[in-house]
């Protein structure tokens, strides 16, 4: 693979601040970055685990936030023997979460129409779905879903799906309420999607995050409040044992969700204005990151783990078409919707980004991650017990189409990620490909859920295990439910059993994708709808 940037790799609309790379950034292999830190830790923090982040930490899966009890923070808490104490939001509802649980809908369709949905069954299937979606929408916009369950205190999982760095810095429950109240929901006959779903989800995370006088807190301020509660022994010192911060994906994810590359500009730090941007200039990202670091410096946490940003173009939602650009290239000429195949893709018809744009996005993310690594390096040099979690490296080492299926595209540092034996024993072995299933069960994928962006439960298990490994490096102790010390290793056999996409997958996913593809080829319905909504 050439390590030289050539003119064909460049997109003319990319800001000069983005450093285009021929080879992706090499992830760090040592979470301490080789910098020793020795700190005395007296007392027992009242809160063993607190997390700040976005959908990956919130527990988003298959198009909805619903499986928060199987999020990686909860998986870690179970190994800590602290799952019953870790406060987190829940989203029980008739549709099993919000805004749209694709797994639930797939099972509803399978129950009604079987494992094979033929094209002539589409009209009754659409009416069936409309009625079900109407029920879900009514629940969240006008029914019991508008009532926020009571909480015993500030949540320990303070992540909110869809939030970027600025939201984490500035957004509170009261702001979310203002947004919801300013735009009363409409009961549209066709558009049966919950309005302001993100703000409704955020309320369940942050409504209990308040000062004694009732002032609403941001996630960072809420973590600081938990840290200020101190140790069990004295009420002073570090109130948090481990704080995990995994944010930044939404500063680039919009580029593949909309297939539009709009680089951040003036107003990037304004929540009212920055929704027009789909990928952040690295200079703007670092400016926001610096503000977050300033606030994190005041949080009383014994150990802090900072996560890097995954390369969003690897997620199977963005399907590469047209064959690799050149021998040894990791990019395709175009990236488009997952149900559009090689033969039917039309760049004049279907939403897409180009290979050069994908490289620019990844290069910007590499700069994000350089900045995050530098935060950890500086912190450790200052004597802080900070660590780096290479979320980007984890996904890179699992990238099926980009690297595993094309050894010539593998970077010089690349090695395959060693899946746990329980996952290797599955047939087929889980991969990062888009999830597909048929009458005989799962036929492809398994690490990503049905939205092609977020992990399945076993995928979250991989994240949890990597973070547990770092926590063990930090000296964190793990206990079973009886309070006895144990290794902290995730039981992947158990995760397989509770991961319904693996243990009991809907058997109609391939059929649904075929129908969606048929409509897209013949009517341009799906692509046109997506383009009009972003």
Cα–Cα distance, 357 to 423 (Å, whole number): 34
Cα–Cα distance, 444 to 430 (Å, whole number): 7
* Total residues found in the chain within this entry: 534
CA angle (509, 511, 517) in 5-degree steps:
105
3-state secondary structure at position 334: strand
Tell me the mean pLDDT in the region 181-189: 71
Strands 98-99 and 240-246: unpaired
Output the pLDDT for position 530.
44
Mean pLDDT lowest among 306-310, 415-419, 439-443, 508-512: 508-512
Within 13 Å and on the Cβ side, how many CA atoms surround 225?
A: 20
Tell me the mean pLDDT in the region 480-494: 92
Mean residue pLDDT of the chain comes to 92
Token couple for 120? 């002539």
Output the pLDDT for position 526.
46
Cα–Cα distance, 368 to 307 (Å, whole number): 11
Residue where the block lists tokens 């909480």? 151
- Percent pLDDT > 70 in the chain is 94
pLDDT digits (tens, 9 = 90+) for 200-246: 999 999 999 999 999 999 999 999 999 999 999 999 999 999 999 99
190 pLDDT band, cuts 50/70/90, is: very low
Whether 534 has a pLDDT exceeding 90, the answer reads no
Whether 532 has a pLDDT exceeding 60, the answer reads no
Whether 531 has a pLDDT exceeding 50, the answer reads no
Cα–Cα distance, 444 to 456 (Å, whole number): 13
Tell me the mean pLDDT in the region 492-515: 90
Output the pLDDT for position 188.
55
Contacts of 276 (CB under 8 A, 6+ apart): 262
8 Å CB contact between 20 and 383: no
Mean pLDDT lowest among 49-53, 235-239, 513-517: 513-517
Residue 319 DSSP code? E
Tell me the mean pLDDT in the region 363-376: 98
- Percent pLDDT > 90 in the chain is 76
Q: Is the whole-model pTM more than 0.85?
A: yes
Residue 64 DSSP code? E
The residue that leads in pLDDT, 63 or 54, is 54
Tell me the mean pLDDT in the region 20-48: 95
Residue 455 DSSP code? B
233: how many CB neighbours lie within 10 A of its CB? 11
First to last CA, the chain: 36
Output the pLDDT for position 9.
85
Cα–Cα distance, 495 to 437 (Å, whole number): 19
408 pLDDT band, cuts 50/70/90, is: very high
Mean pLDDT lowest among 119-128, 260-269, 471-480: 119-128
Cα–Cα distance, 474 to 236 (Å, whole number): 21
Token couple for 529? 């709808």
**Inter-CA distances, 284 with 189, 248, 270, Å:** 41, 12, 12
Whether 187 has a pLDDT exceeding 70, the answer reads no
The residue that leads in pLDDT, 520 or 289, is 289
112 pLDDT band, cuts 50/70/90, is: confident
Whether 65 has a pLDDT exceeding 80, the answer reads yes
DSSP per residue over 345-414, as a string? --TTTS--EEHHHHHHHHHHHHHHHHHHHHHHHHHHHTT--EEEE-HHHHHHTT-IIIIIT-GGG--TT-
What CATH class does 7-87+157-171+219-474+494-532 carry? alpha beta
Output the pLDDT for position 341.
83
Q: Beta partners for 335?
A: 320, 353
Output the pLDDT for position 483.
86
Output the pLDDT for position 134.
85
Whether 144 has a pLDDT exceeding 60, the answer reads yes
CA angle (256, 259, 263) in 5-degree steps:
80
Output the pLDDT for position 512.
78
Output the pLDDT for position 191.
54
Strands 240-246 and 47-53: parallel
Output the pLDDT for position 518.
59
pLDDT digits (tens, 9 = 90+) for 410-441: 999 999 999 999 999 999 999 999 999 988 99
Output the pLDDT for position 519.
56
**Inter-CA distances, 148 with 95, 134, 135, Å:** 17, 21, 19
Domain boundaries, the chain: 7-87+157-171+219-474+494-532
Asked if omega into 428 is within 30° of 0 (cis), the reply is yes
Residue 106: closest CA among 511, 464, 521: 511
Tell me the mean pLDDT in the region 113-135: 81
Tell me the mean pLDDT in the region 377-400: 98
Whether 114 has a pLDDT exceeding 60, the answer reads yes
Mean pLDDT lowest among 118-122, 342-346, 488-492, 507-511: 118-122
Burial of 131 per CB tally in 10 Å (0-12, 13-18, 19+): exposed
Cα–Cα distance, 187 to 13 (Å, whole number): 40
């Amino acid at each position: 693979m050439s390590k030289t940037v050539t003119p064909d790799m460049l997109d003319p609309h990319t800001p000069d601040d983005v450093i285009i790379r021929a080879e992706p950034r090499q992830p760090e292999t040592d979470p301490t970055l080789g910098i020793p830190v020795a700190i005395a830790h007296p007392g027992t923090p009242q809160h063993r685990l607190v997390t700040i982040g976005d959908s990956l930490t919130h527990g988003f899966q298959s198009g909805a936030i619903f499986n928060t009890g199987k999020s990686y923070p909860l998986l870690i808490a179970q190994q800590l023997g602290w799952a019953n104490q870790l406060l987190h939001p829940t989203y029980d509802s008739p549709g099993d979460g919000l805004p749209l649980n694709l797994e639930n809908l797939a099972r509803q369709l399978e129950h009604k129409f079987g494992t094979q949905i033929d094209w002539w069954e589409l009209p009754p299937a659409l009416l069936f779905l409309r009625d079900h979606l109407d029920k879900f929408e009514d629940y969240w916009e006008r029914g019991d879903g508008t009532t926020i369950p009571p909480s015993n205190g500030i949540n320990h999982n303070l992540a909110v799906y869809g939030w970027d760095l600025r939201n984490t810095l500035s957004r509170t429950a009261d702001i979310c309420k203002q947004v919801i109240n300013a735009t009363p929901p409409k009961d549209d006959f066709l558009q049966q999607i919950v309005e302001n779903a993100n703000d409704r989800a955020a309320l369940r995370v942050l409504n209990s995050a308040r000062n004694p006088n009732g002032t609403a807190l941001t996630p960072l301020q809420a973590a600081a409040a938990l840290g200020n509660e101190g140790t069990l022994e004295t009420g002073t010192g570090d109130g948090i044992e481990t704080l995990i911060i995994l944010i930044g994906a939404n500063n680039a994810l919009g580029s593949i969700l909309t297939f539009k590359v709009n680089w951040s500009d003036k107003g990037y730090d304004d929540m009212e204005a920055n929704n027009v941007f789909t990928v952040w200039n690295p200079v703007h990202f670092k400016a926001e990151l610096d503000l977050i670091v300033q606030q994190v410096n005041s949080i009383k946490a014994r150990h802090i783990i900072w996560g890097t940003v995954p390369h969003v173009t690897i997620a199977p939602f963005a399907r590469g078409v047209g064959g690799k650009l050149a021998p040894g290239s990791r990019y395709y000429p175009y990236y488009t919707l997952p149900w559009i195949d090689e033969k039917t893709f039309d760049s004049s018809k279907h939403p897409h980004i180009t290979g050069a744009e994908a490289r620019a996005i990844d290069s910007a993310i590499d700069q994000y991650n350089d900045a995050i690594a530098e935060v950890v390096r500086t912190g450790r040099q200052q004597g802080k017990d900070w660590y780096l979690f290479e979320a980007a490296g984890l996904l890179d080492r699992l990238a099926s189409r980009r690297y595993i299926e094309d050894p010539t595209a593998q970077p010089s540092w690349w090695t395959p990620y060693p899946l746990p034996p329980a996952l290797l024993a599955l047939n087929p072995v889980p991969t990062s490909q888009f999830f597909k299933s048929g009458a005989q069960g799962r036929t492809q994928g398994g690490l990503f859920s049905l939205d092609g962006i977020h992990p399945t439960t076993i995928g979250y298990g991989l994240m949890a295990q990597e973070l547990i490994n770092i926590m063990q490096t930090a000296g964190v102790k793990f206990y079973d439910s009886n309070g006895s010390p144990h290794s902290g290793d995730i039981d992947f056999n158990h995760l397989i059993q509770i991961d319904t996409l693996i243990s009991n997958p809907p058997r109609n996913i391939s059929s649904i994708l075929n129908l969606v593809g048929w409509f897209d080829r013949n009517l341009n319905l799906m692509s046109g709808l997506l383009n009009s909504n972003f």
